[in-house]
């Protein structure tokens, strides 16, 4: 009985959660990652209290998250500020919020909390985008996070650009840009001609260009290929870049200017910028 008591006493002395105050545990956990914090919460009741605290999760949120949330619609902003920091973190991972007058969305990458953005179609530069003969604008309330998407009626010359201020990205991170789109049942031209995709810092030289099919012909398997997203849209990678606190803008560009092939039936939701997995 004495040996058992001494063993229990020794185990208790070795349990940091019984020795250190919650504030110290929270401070230690804040130097880990969101994934590690969630794992720490499973260790013991004391660890859970520390690991779930605002002191930990505030550090996992971007330093400018309050500013971004304040620029979202008032109803959304008030709901978000009422959440705990951990609840807010996972809300932003799973439910992008609109800001900048509703033409951009903001979210977090779940594993590391790095920032993700999408420029909605209304925030893109689309050649002839305001000419109803070529493009129409319409709401898809059950399918898009934005109030409007752009549908291509028919053009020979396709040119779409998305420009974003580089300083809003998470530093020391490799990002990729993705065209987020759908094709209508009556689409044509995109299985006949490759479109050109690129992403680069504005005014840089020698950027890489990708040539891809948005409507993939049978037996064609050269990457990158479009893939379906969890939200029901399609996406295709436009290129990648490494951000290390540079000034300037990043430009993502979709282009197909063959004057002998008409194109129609492309619906653009936007261009998304998010960290490459594991990078």
Q: What is the pLDDT along the chain (279 residues), one digit of tens a residue?
A: 445 444 444 444 445 556 677 778 878 888 888 998 888 888 878 778 888 899 999 999 999 999 999 988 866 778 898 999 999 999 999 999 999 999 999 999 998 999 999 999 999 999 999 999 999 999 999 899 999 999 999 999 999 999 999 999 999 999 999 999 999 999 999 999 999 999 999 878 667 899 999 999 999 999 999 999 999 999 999 999 999 988 899 999 999 987 788 999 999 999 999 999 755
| CA proximity to 37, closest of 28, 66, 109 | 28
- Whole-model pTM: value is 0.89
């Amino acid at each position: 009985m004495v040996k058992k008591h001494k063993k229990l006493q020794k185990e208790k002395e070795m349990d940091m959660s019984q020795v250190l105050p919650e504030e110290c545990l929270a401070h230690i956990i804040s130097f880990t990652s969101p994934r590690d914090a969630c794992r720490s919460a499973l260790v013991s009741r004391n660890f859970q209290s520390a690991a779930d605290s605002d002191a930990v999760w505030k550090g996992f949120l971007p330093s400018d998250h309050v500013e971004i949330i304040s620029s979202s619609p008032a109803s959304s902003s008030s709901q978000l500020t009422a959440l705990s920091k951990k609840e807010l973190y996972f809300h932003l991972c799973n439910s992008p919020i609109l800001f900048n007058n509703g033409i951009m969305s903001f979210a977090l990458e779940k594993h590391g909390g790095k920032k993700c953005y999408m420029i909605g179609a209304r925030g893109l530069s689309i050649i002839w985008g305001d000419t109803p003969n070529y493009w129409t604008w319409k709401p898809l309330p059950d399918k898009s996070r934005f109030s409007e998407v752009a549908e291509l009626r028919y053009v020979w010359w396709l040119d779409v650009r998305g420009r974003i201020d580089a300083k809003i990205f998470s530093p020391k991170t490799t990002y990729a840009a993705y065209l987020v789109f759908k094709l209508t049942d009556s689409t044509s031209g995109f299985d006949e001609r490759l479109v050109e995709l690129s992403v680069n810092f504005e005014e840089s030289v020698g950027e890489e260009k990708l040539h891809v099919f948005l409507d993939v012909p049978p037996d064609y398997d050269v990457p990158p290929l479009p893939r379906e997203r969890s939200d029901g849209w399609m996406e295709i990678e436009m290129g990648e870049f490494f951000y290390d606190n540079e000034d300037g803008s990043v430009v993502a560009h979709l282009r197909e200017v063959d004057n002998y092939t008409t194109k129609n039936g492309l619906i653009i939701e936007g261009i998304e910028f998010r960290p490459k997995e594991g990078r």
